[in-house]
Amino acid sequence: MFFNSIEFFVFLPIVFALYWLIGGKNIKTQNLLIAAASYVFYGWWDWRFLSLILFSSLVDYSIGIALGKKDKPSTRKVLLWISICVNLGFLGFFKYYNFFVDSLINSFTFFGSELSINTLNIILPVGISFYTFQTLSYTIDVYNKKLEPTKDFVGFMAFVSFFPQLVAGPIERATNLLPQFSIERRFDYKNAVDGLRQVLWGLFKKIVIADNCAKYANIIFNNHTEYNGSTLLLGAFFFAFQIYGDFSGYSDIAIGISRLFGFELKRNFAFPYFSRDIAEFWRRWHISLST
C-alpha cells in the first residue's frame, strides 16, 4: 500500500476516524488501533512479512525487559549482542544473501574453479531496514541507560510498526518516538492542518516532481548509447531531482500523517542540494539515518 495509492486514500480516513472517535483520550486504545492499522498496512504487500516484524518486536521487547533487570556488564553486553546479531542477521540474509553467493561463485569462476552454491528466491521484505534500525535503537538506548525499558508491549509494537514511517522513514530513535506512545494525545486542529499541508507538499514532490523526472531520466539512461554527453548530464540532473522528490516526499508525507495522529517525527531532509560540500550534504540528506 503506497502513500499515493487509492487504497491508502481509503485506509487513512478510516484509521483517522477510528483513532479519534473510538480511541478518544485512552492511550491504550489509541496504541492498539495504531498497531492494528500498521499491521494491516504492512501486511497489504504480503501478510507473511508480518511474522518478521512481530518476531523482531518480541526479541527487542524481551531483551529490553531483561536489560532492565540485569546490572552485570557482561550479561548486559551479551543481551545487546543477541539483539544486534538477530536483527542484523535477518537484515543481512534478506538483503545480501544472494548478492554474496553470486559474488563468491563469480570469484571462483574467475580463477578457473566451479563452486556449486544454490541461491534462494528471496523476496525482500518492505521496510525491513527501517524497522530493524528502529528496534535496534531501542535496545541500544536501554543498554546505554538513556531509556527505561517499556512494559507496554502494545505500545512497543505500535512504535516498531508505526505505519507513517514504516516503509521509507524517517528512522526514529526510541528516545524520541517511543515516549510519545505513553503520553496523552488530543486532537489539535491547527496541528492537523499543518500535517495535511505537509502531506500535500510531500505528494507534490512525489507525483509532480519525482514521477515526471523519472520519465525523462529513464528515457535517457535506457538509451544512453544514443545520446551525447550534455544529454547524459541532463539525465543525471533529472535523476537527482527524482530521487530527492521520491525520498523527501515520502518523508514529508510520513511527518504530516504522524501529526494527524498527534505524533512528531524528526525532519529528514534540509535542502541538501544547497550544501557547500559533501560533508554538509550528508548532514542534510536522510538526517535520521546519519544521526
How would you label 230-245 residue by residue, b for 16+ Cβ within 10 Å and e otherwise?
A: eeeeebeebbebbebb
Is pLDDT larger for residue 46 or for residue 89?
89
Q: Using one digit for the tens of pLDDT, what is the confidence trace for 119-145?
A: 545 555 667 778 888 888 899 999 998
Closest CA to 61 of 146, 134, 162, 167: 134
If you search the block for the grid coordinates 491508502, which residue do you land on? 8
Residue 291 is placed in which grid cell? 544521526
Q: Using one digit for the tens of pLDDT, what is the confidence trace for 212-228?
A: 999 999 999 988 888 88
Q: Using one digit for the tens of pLDDT, what is the confidence trace for 180-206?
A: 999 888 888 999 999 999 999 999 999
Closest CA to 53 of 142, 126, 140, 148: 126
